Structure 1
Amino acid sequence: MPNLVRRRELLTFGAAAGLTAIAAPAWAQRLDIWEPRRAVLHNLHTGEAFNEVYYANGSYLPDALAEANRVMRDWRTGDQTFIDPALFDALHSIQLKLETTQPFQVVSGYRSPKTNAMLRSRSKGVAEHSQHTVGKAVDIVVPGVDLANLRDAALDLGAGGVGYYPVSNFVHVDTGRVRQWRGA
């Protein structure tokens, strides 16, 4: 039975990745479809890392996406969801723009509705319908990269929402509608 669940999970990830590729936003269509794309992530809360090619030969790789989704899971509850592959594309593009091989330090990836409600009860800066709860957002920092430069690289991409949190020391990147804000 565990193999059946794993296979079903991979098929679901693969189908969703395929649909995402078809509906890729304009900024993502500028990426070379034949060039491999790598995500380099380090989850600050779990210590887990992901450093793999998740896209090659014109296709998203379901096994790699499944592992990246695991690393981006809600560290408080262990819940995970399908992370929008366009978010990994955005991170890939930001990394190229910054000309760094340093990993994205993941402050917050997926957030379960339960975790989001808890954080919202503690802070007015947490959106009720956060992109984190639908697998379309990540809060990051990159070692050796000035936070303002990270923000500017994300803004230049025009991929979605960009939140700049200089006091909390992270940049929020999402694949929702294009917008920007400054937080604490």
Structure 2
Amino acid sequence: MNDQFLQNPDITESLVISSRRNFLKTIAGVSLLALGLPELSEAAIKRYPSHKTLAFQNAKTGDHLKLTYFENGRYLHDALHEINHLFRDVYNGSVHSIDTALIDQLYDLKTLMGIRKPFDIVSGYRSPHTNAKLRRRSHGVARHSLHMQGRAIDIRIEGVDVRTIRNAALSMRSGGVGYYPRSDFVHLDTGAVRTW
């Protein structure tokens, strides 16, 4: 800084007062943060766990899978590969990458509901060919279904009413939620927040 600037007593006093105020504000802020740290830490641990584990069973293939897919801040490549295979198109065996946001959505749903049972996969990835075939059979299959992008899943949980699953999924507001009580499943996707 310029020496003339510092030699002016009014300016120097103003800088000291300003610095003192900033210092006190900083101390006050740190103190408040320290007082709230246990709650903040607990919330951070719940939101950003060190590992994420899920269990699935595929209703059509009979395949079962329980695995940790996220650990120490990273997705585990081999685990995601296993999930991709489990979510495969059961009509032609084609495998597609599943959106990690969808997998996290399932983890968040499991955590919210406090369940330990596996998710029953009714429908995971669908190839465009399979989607077109299913559309010919049912008007409920969307032409541009997010199933074809690995961004949607249809699920149920043994012993849990699908209405309960739907309500929990709706409360998360993390994508589309479709409710199919007659077919006994809930659709989840990572598209826009919407419901049907």
**2:59 counterpart of 1:59:** no
SS of 2:66's equivalent in the other structure is: strand
Counterparts of residues 167-182 of structure 1 (less than 5 Å): 167-181=182-196
Computing the radius of gyration from Cα coordinates, the structure with the larger value is 2
Give the Cα separation in 2 of the matches to 1:30 and 1:93: 13
Match of 1:155, as an amino acid? L
Aligned mates of 1:34, 1:149 — CA distance in 2: 25
Give the number of equivalent residue pairs: 153
**Correspondence for 1:74:** 89
User: 1:33, 1:57 within 8 Å by CA — same for their partners in 2?
Assistant: no
Change (3 A) 1:30 1:36: closer
Q: How large is the Cα RMSD of the aligned pairs? A: 1.4
Identity %: 47
Deviation at 1:31, TM superposition (A): 5.8
**Normalised TM-score (structure 2):** 0.75
2 CA distance for matches of 1:71 and 1:123? 24
Query: Secondary structure of 2:85's match?
Result: helix
Q: Does 1:120 align with 2:141?
A: no
Q: What is the aligned counterpart of 2:160 among 138, 145, 149?
A: 145
Q: What is the aligned partner in structure 2 of residue 3 from structure 1? A: none
Give the drift of 1:128: 0.3
User: Is 1:44 matched up with 2:44?
Assistant: no
Q: In 1, distance between residues paired with 2:45 and 2:116?
A: 21
Q: 1:134 corresponds to which residue?
A: 149
RCO higher in 1 or 2 (8 Å CA, sep ≥ 6)?
1
SS at match of 1:148: helix
Q: Which runs of 5+ in 1 are unaligned?
A: 1-28
* 1: CA distance, partners of 2:45 / 2:90: 33
How far apart are residue 35 of structure 1 and its match? 2.4
**Match of residue 14 from structure 1:** none
